[in-house]
């Protein structure tokens, strides 16, 4: 009987673990940005939230390189669709500003996505509501 309970416990724990790894197909989410030539050396701050529960899944940051590119890899978490919010701290003050100095964007991510490449063109596509997720 004890052996059977042990086997059931292991099976249950495995199922729970597998469920927790469903996000991004059980791997990681690879994010890439290009076109940030005017923001070399600035930090990109990222928040990933579960869409249905508005829960924080991950926070991360990366720095824009000399070619205007940035990349980041976020490990898998709980399942479900997610929203990616990010801003480029254009004035390097560590605060998400809505005065035109920072780039404020969001992306919708399906639960099975493994990567997203984003191209920056101009500040005109900014969404000031993104600041609500950082400040």
Query: Residues 125, 76, 30, 117: is their CA dihedral positive or negative?
Result: negative
CB of 42 to Ca ion, least distance (A): 9
What tokens does 23 get?
A: 């996000």
Binds Ca ion (CB under 5 A): choice among 49, 88, 102, 103: 102
| 89 in contact with Ca ion (CB under 5 A) | yes
CB of 109 to Ca ion, least distance (A): 24
Residues in Cβ contact with 38 at an 8 Å cutoff, skipping those fewer than 6 apart: 68
DSSP state for residue 62 in the 8-state scheme: E
What tokens does 31 get?
A: 């994010």
Sequence-ordered strand ranges (E) for the chain:
28-34, 43-50, 55-63, 70-75, 82-88, 103-109, 115-119
Nearer to Ca ion, 23 or 133 (CB): 133
CB of 73 to Ca ion, least distance (A): 24
| 110 in contact with Ca ion (CB under 5 A) | no
| 91 in contact with Ca ion (CB under 5 A) | yes
By beta-carbon distance, which residue lies closest to Ca ion?
Answer: 97
- Other C-beta atoms lying within 10 Å of the C-beta of residue 22: 15
Which candidate, 26, 99, 33, 109, places its Cα nearest to that of 68? 33
Binding part of the chain for Ca ion, among 5-13, 30-38, 65-73, 83-91 by CB under 5 A, reads 83-91
Binding part of the chain for Ca ion, among 41-49, 78-86, 87-95, 111-119 by CB under 5 A, reads 87-95
Binding part of the chain for Ca ion, among 6-14, 72-80, 89-97, 121-129 by CB under 5 A, reads 89-97
């Amino acid at each position: 009987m004890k052996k059977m309970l042990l086997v059931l416990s292991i099976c249950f724990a495995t199922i729970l673990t597998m469920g927790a790894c469903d996000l991004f197909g059980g791997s990681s989410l690879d994010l890439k940005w290009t076109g940030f030539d005017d923001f070399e050396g600035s930090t990109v701050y990222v928040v990933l939230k579960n869409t249905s529960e508005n829960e924080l899944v991950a926070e991360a940051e990366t720095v824009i390189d000399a070619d205007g590119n940035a990349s980041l890899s976020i490990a898998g978490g709980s399942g479900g669709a997610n929203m990616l919010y990010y801003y480029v701290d254009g004035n390097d003050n560590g605060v998400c500003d809505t005065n035109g100095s920072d780039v404020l964007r969001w992306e919708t991510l399906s639960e099975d996505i493994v990567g997203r490449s984003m191209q920056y063109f101009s500040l005109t596509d900014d969404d000031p509501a993104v600041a609500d997720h950082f400040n």
